[in-house]
Amino acid sequence: MSRVRRETGETTITLDVRREGDTIQVDTGDPFLDHMLTTLARYAGLSLEVDASGDLRHHLVEDVAISLGLALVGEIPAQAQRYGSALVPMDEALVQAAVDVGGRPYYVGPLPSNLYEHFLESMALNMRATLHVRVIRGKDRHHMVEAAFKATGLALRQALTRGEQVFSTKGSVTLELDVDRGED
C-alpha cells in the first residue's frame, strides 16, 4: 500500500492506494470528483481511500490528482507489464486511453473539461507515466469524461499487472532520491 498525506494552505489530503483489492472509500466533498475517483479505482482494480478537503474546486481536483499520481508510483511493480490501452464506449461517447508506466512523464489529451483534463495530466506527470487520452466522439461532457476515466483505469489495470520480466530494453531502472528540506 502507498500512502500520501499532502497539506497546503489550500487543501488537506490523505490518500491510500493498493494495486490489489476492492476497498474504495472516497470523500472529497465534490460529488463528481468522488464519482470519477471511484470509477478510476474500480476499472484499474485498485483499492483506494481518499479523504480530502479544499478551498476551491480547482485546488481540490488538482491536489488529489497530484497525490494519486505520487501514490501510484509506489504501486508499479518492477516487472510491470508497463503498457496498457483501452477503448470505452459510453452511450454516444467513445474514448481511448493508452498508458506507459515506464517512468517517462507525458500527457496528451484533450478532454472537453479543462478541470478533468488537468486532473489526468497532473496524475500522469506525478506518476511519471505517459498517458494519451483521445475522445473519438461524444456530445455529453459527462459521458466523455467518465469514459476517459474508465479507459484510463482499464489501461492502468493492464500496465500495473506483474509480468514475467522487466519490460524494457534498458532493464530495471533504479532511482534513489534523497531530499533534504532542511530545518528552517
Q: What is the pTM of this model?
A: 0.92
Distance CA(13)–CA(64), nearest Å, equals 7
pLDDT digits (tens, 9 = 90+) for 117-162: 999 999 999 999 999 999 999 999 999 999 999 999 999 999 999 9
Q: Specify the pLDDT at position 20.
A: 87
Distance CA(129)–CA(73), nearest Å, equals 9
**pLDDT, mean over the chain:** 93
| Domain ranges across the chain | 2-159
CATH topology of domain 2-159: Ribosomal Protein S5; domain 2 (3.30.230)
pLDDT digits (tens, 9 = 90+) for 171-183: 665 656 566 767 6
- Taking each helix axis as running N to C, give the angle between helix 31-44 and helix 141-159, from 0 to 180 degrees, rounded to the nearest 10: 30
